[in-house]
Copies of this chain bind each other. A is one copy, B any other.
Amino acid sequence: MPENFADRLIQAVKAKKTPTCVGIDPIYARLPAEITENRELNDESDSEVALDAVLEYCRRVIKIVAPLVPAVKINSAFFERYYWEGIEGYWDLIQEADQNGLIVIGDCKRSDIGSTAEMYARSALAEPDFNDMDSLTGPDAVTVVPYAGLDGVKPFIDIAREEQKGVFVWVRASNESSAIIQEVKLESGLTFAEHMAQQVDAWSRDSGLIGSTGYSTVGAVVAARDKDSTARLRELMPHCYFLVPGYGAQGGTADDIVPCFKPDGTGAIVTASRSVIYAYEDMKYIERFPSEWDKCIEQACKDFIADISKVVRIS
């Protein structure tokens, strides 16, 4: 197996023949009735009971999607909701996804400066270095916020270099209100997102980061908005793999994401979360698989992959 994270990601994408990733954002109130109607898991007001139900569901989702996609993105916030027990559950799911052969992206959007960023990098990305945590595997990559510039990101990059992991720097968000930050025009003529992309490009070229495929350990979270602006971000960060949110429930279409990719089909991995993991709420799937929530998720995942394959060919 190649050591560089981007090389490993590309290998996994080629093995599954799809540049897709399922995002795991579990909410108790939306879990399938089959799980929450279990007497022992039917109490949203008790954190341990609710968390057990959430974890049972997430383990099932991971097993359903593992044969189909190369990667999962596990969203830390939805586990932090259950306090420390939730964090233990988040780590359990990292192990589960890893054991199912998936690339695991921890979506934790951490950010701070100096020694604080070092602590976040060590806890969120590194392989646990305590004797009593020896059996745990950390995620393959995490998302980070670049609000304080390089200082806040460097500890993550250093660990990624040492431990052959990946960092996705949040360059452009998928929500409307982010435009007030990310689309603001600078004196230089660039948008703020383009300026940020220039920084991330520089960081991605640091020594020891670029793998045999030409991609760096340092990637970027880039939401697909209008095609021209996405194409500019693609040009500005030639060595960065893009992690692309916003497909499906957030309104993004396969067509929108085309400029995230290079002509050879590399360069991006597209994430769908709610449109896949809650497919059993969608009449399109309910009609086909009444009361088989797992089949709904499997079919929605296959449909997501097919939709992306219409616009991106993996060679």
Contacts and interface: CB of A to CB of B under 8 A. Distances in A.
Contact of A151 (B25, B78, B178): B178
Contacts of A25: 115-116
A68 interface: no
Contacts of A131: 45-46
- Mostly, the A contact residues are helix
Interface string A142-179: 00011111111000000000000000001001111111
A216 B148 CA distance: 25
A173 B116 CA distance: 13
Interface string A12-27: 0000000000000101
A217 interface: no
Contacts of A85: 84
Contacts of A184: 186-187, 192, 195
Interface of A: 25, 27, 45-48, 50, 75, 77-78, 80-88, 91, 107, 109-117, 119-120, 122-124, 128, 130-133, 145-152, 170, 173-182, 184-189, 192, 195-196, 199, 250
